Chain A
Amino acid sequence: MANVYQQVKPCQFETIKLDFQNTTWFDANMLAMLGAIMESAWKNDFDIVNLRPAQEEIFKKTRYSYFGGESVPDRYQTTVEYRKSKVSEIGSFEKYLEKKLLAHPEIPMMSTLLRKKIKESILEIFDNARTHGKCKFIFSCGQYYPRKGRLDFTIVDIGRTIRKNVREYLHNDVSGKKALDWAVQKNTTTRKDNIPGGLGFTLIREFLCKNNGKIQIASADGYWYEKGRTSDSRDLNVFFRGTAVNLEFNVNDQSSYCLTSEIEDTDIPF
């Protein structure tokens, strides 16, 4: 998808043809990325051609905006609706998660705590995009894989990249890979104001590790992923002016998520 961005980037006042002739499968959650790319090239018109009927159905199941919100029923309920959110809309984004993702009829009954942790993780990423991406919109979409018991949810912004933020903070022209390696460390933050940062992402990693889930981040020319306790990063040979985060949750997780300590309200150590 970053390759598509590269090709689209220099275009202005043109009609860009997105040809899906050789695309055999398109994960619904990748529509978040496609939406962001099309938004970044808003000075152009887009013409999506050669979509296979099954693919067009995926686009319409998610109410992808290219089709003007036209939708078809999602018989097997494997997609989570596409959404372009204003960054100020975290409240309605939370309601969208509740209605379109967590109340998804095909997703197995999850414990209250698991549902809560999934929602919190996504909201943390949303707010990170708002705070650090300094963007106008956030694009999201999801794909559920019933046989694997996996739910992929992608959040994309076309704002400041992680590399740009880290470079400014460290006064060091690090690569996209190095910037991500730094940014994902425990409790690091590029914030300089009086609001502490860095905790939210640490908690997401802890949760996904226990959930046996996965997180992938692509920003600028860097890529980083973590699955369980294994993580890796690399430099990409293409540049994406924004940040895409894919979260994969194991919805069959039977972990109890019991609390590690019994703290009372009165024990909060201010």
Chain B
Amino acid sequence: MERKRINIFDFVGGKAAVSTEDGERLFETISAFLEKDFEVVLDFANIETLITTFLNAAIGQLYSKHDSPFLREHLRVNNLAPEDRERMVKTIERAKEYFKDKENLEKDIREAFDDE
């Protein structure tokens, strides 16, 4: 499998990965390489600020197109700050939950609200 390394510092132009726009752009870049069956390595070296808005758009959104086994095989991360790994894990868990049964989740939420 061919490999594509994306340096996030270079990609966002600095040490803060915070905007949804940058996240969307990264999502599109990752998707393009995944569709060509590349292994994509995301290098977070020197990224000091990483928030869920960026991660939801860049990583969470991938679960709208691909399942876990595919992403486990095709996606890697490097040099993520230890405290950001938890954030990444939570983003992934949230994305899986969000897309697992999006319709039912929304229905459940509405029903829970109507019960009050």
Contact = CB atoms under 8 A, between A and B. Distances in A.
Interface stretch (A118-126, A157-165, A231-239): A118-126
A194 B61 contact: yes
Interface in B88-115: 88-92, 94-95, 97-99, 109-110, 113-114
A268 B77 contact: yes
A265 B19 contact: no
A24 interface: no
B49 A123 contact: yes
Contacts of B75: 270
- Interface range on chain B: under 10, 10 to 19, 20 to 34, or 35 or more? 35 or more
A123 B48 CA distance: 13
B53 interface: yes
A199 B94 contact: yes
A53 interface: no
A90 B18 contact: yes
B85 A203 contact: no
Interface string B67-92: 01001100111111011011111111
Contact of A116 (B14, B48, B95): B48
Interface string B56-74: 1100110110001001100
A188 to B, nearest CB: 6
Range for the number of chain A residues in contact with chain B: 35 or more
A91 interface: yes
Contact of A196 (B49, B60, B78, B88): B60
Contacts, number: 116
Interface stretch (A65-73, A208-216, A217-225, A256-264): A256-264
B64 A194 contact: yes
A14 interface: no
Interface in B11-62: 13-14, 16, 18-21, 23-24, 48-53, 56-57, 60-61
Contacts of A261: 86
A146 interface: no
Nearest to A270: B71
B101 to A, nearest CB: 13
A91 B19 contact: yes
A196 B110 contact: no
A266 B72 CA distance: 10
A195 B60 contact: yes
Interface of B: 13-14, 16, 18-21, 23-24, 48-53, 56-57, 60-61, 63-64, 68, 71-72, 75-80, 82-83, 85-92, 94-95, 97-99, 109-110, 113-114, 116
Given A90-B19, A127-B53, A195-B23, 15 more contacts: A88-B21, A116-B83, A124-B51, A172-B110, A195-B57, A196-B61, A196-B63, A196-B98, A197-B56, A198-B94, A199-B94, A200-B52, A203-B87, A260-B86, A265-B76
